Structure formats: C-alpha cells, structure tokens
Amino acid sequence: MPRIRHTNFDCAPGCPVEGTLNLIGGKWKGMILFHLMSGTLRFNEIRRHLNSVTQRMLTNQLRELEADGFITRKVYAQVPPKVEYSLTEHGRSLEPIISALKLWGDTHLRSQATKAAAVRSQAA
Amino acid sequence: MPRIRHTNFDCAPGCPVEGTLNLIGGKWKGMILFHLMSGTLRFNEIRRHLNSVTQRMLTNQLRELEADGFITRKVYAQVPPKVEYSLTEHGRSLEPIISALKLWGDTHLRSQATKAAAVRSQAA
DNA sequence: GCATATAGTGTCATAAAGGATACCGTGATG
DNA sequence: CATCACGGTATCCTTTATGACACTATATGC
C-alpha cells in the first residue's frame, strides 16, 4: 500500500473544504447530524441528546439543515405536537465526514477530555 | 461573522464530533490544513492560496493551529523574514477528515446548480 | 537615498452567532 | 380548575469571530 501522494490538493474554485465546513459548521449541526445517523428522532429527543441547547437554537439549526436539504421535517397533526426529523439521502451522504470527525475525536480528544474521567474511573 | 463556539464537551456519544469541529472550524483553518497537506508553506504562500484572508486573520488562525499542535512554525533568522509552516504528526492525523470534506465538497457543491438539483431530487 | 518584500502586531469597528427569557395553543391528567 | 407536555415564536441581549486599516524592522536592489 503506497503512501498517498497529495499532489492534487488544489483548493482553488470555491474551495470544497471551506464550503463543506460552512454547511456543517453550525454549533450544533455536527451533533444533530451524528444523532440522526442512527435514525429518526423527535424534536425533544434531539434536544435531550444535546445537553444544553436552547429551543431557539435547536429550531434554528434544524431549519438550516432542512434548508440545506440534509434533513426532512415531518409534522403530525396531533396535540401535543409531534415532529420527526430524519436524514435525507443528501444528509446521509455526509456520513463519511461525520464518521471521520467522530473517529478522530474518539482517538485524539479522548486523552485530554477524559483525563479527569479516567482518573475518576480509576479511583472507582 | 463569528463562527462557532463549541464549548459543550459533556455530551456522551456526539461529543467527539463537536470537539473535532471546534478545532478545525475556524473560518480558514480547514483550507490552511488542506493546503499544508501538500507540504511546507511560507506565510505569504498560504496567504496567496487563501484569496481574501487578511494578514491579521491568517496569523490568528495559524497561531491557533499551532497552539492545538497541528502545525509547527519555523522562523529563519533572515531579513526579510522567512517563516515556514508545516503539519505535525498530529496535524497529519486530520487527513481523513480533510479528505472527506474535500471529496464531499467536490461531489456535492461543485456548483450551485448541482446543489439545487440534489435538494430537488430529495423532495421528489 | 528610497522603494520593496516579508511576516508580522495593534487598534478599532461591526455583523452575526449564540443565549436568556417569556409566551402560545391545546389535549390529557389530576 | 390548574398544570403539564410538545414544538415551537418573538424579543431582547451578549459575545466573539472576523474585517479594515495603520504601523514595524531591515537587508537588498535600484
């Protein structure tokens, strides 16, 4: 397996890297997409996954993801309301990115972020 | 246009995604990393790659990347100054992410027309 | 003597992102 | 009758990421 030569890293026209980052770079978007990778979720289910998001922010981020064609919003004519969010095909196409982000985070953030947690679990 | 403040590190499974996004989510960081994947670059070389970045912003982003251990800064005792930036091992470990971002961008936002088409085909 | 290139730094301004808080409508529950 | 759950809106307000612009030092070439 030859080491990949990155000779074709040209980022000239409208930069794909930057453009993609712009779409998923909202404060909660990565996490929302990540959780939706596992399947359809209701508004408050997502909200509970994202510990400290406000309603306004969550609505905001979901609307942007919807506008970008990544997720669909299905409203049930019920009271109390029921709204389900799920990924579109377009949204699922982000899976490699989300996976790469998660893998990297698991590998490289674990050490510093869970140092305290590790110590605690050691003590236990 | 401020970008993101990913400060929430206490959510269980999605946390790595957000944490990673936090590190590479600066306005120019993705592109800087992308260009450095091809090899060492001087300050003004990076600047020329990033069409409209200001000196202050570029310095700022480079310092943050350096502080996060992604790049190294090598100053030559010359006049006029010569400063070279290159990826560390830690920085190179982001390669799968950057590649995934570029691949997705190339595929899905090559032009606004294709993006609109993708969204429309989702609706169908 | 003067402009030029390089890699910055400092100050100030601003638009946008994100947060806090309050309110809405209604069916079921107590 | 009062309250809660759900999925939001509507207004504020604060934070901060980014931009514009000016300034620096000095070896080198003209």
Q: What is the pTM of this model?
A: 0.84
Domain ranges within chain B, ordered by starting residue: 15-122
Class of domain A15-122: mainly alpha
Say if the Cβ atoms of B4 and A27 lie within 8 Å. yes
Query: What ipTM describes this predicted complex?
Result: 0.83
Q: How far apart are CA B94 and CA B72, in angstroms?
A: 15
Question: Which nucleotides of chain D have an atom under 7 angstroms from any protein CB?
Answer: 5-11, 15-22, 25-27
CB of B29 within 8 A of CB of B13? no
Kindly report, residue by residue over B10-63, the tens digit of the pLDDT. Answer: 444 447 899 999 999 999 999 999 999 999 999 999 999 998 899 999 999 999
- Whether residue A115 lies within 8 A of chain B, CB to CB, comes out as no
Token readout for A20 is 């993609």
CB of B118 within 8 A of CB of A90? yes
Say if the Cβ atoms of B14 and A24 lie within 8 Å. no
CB of B58 within 8 A of CB of B28? yes
Kindly report, residue by residue over A23-72, the tens digit of the pLDDT. Answer: 999 999 999 999 999 999 999 999 999 988 999 999 999 999 999 999 99
Nearest protein residue, CA measured to C1' of C9: B56
Say if the Cβ atoms of A108 and B93 lie within 8 Å. yes
What Å value separates CA B40 and C1' C19? 41
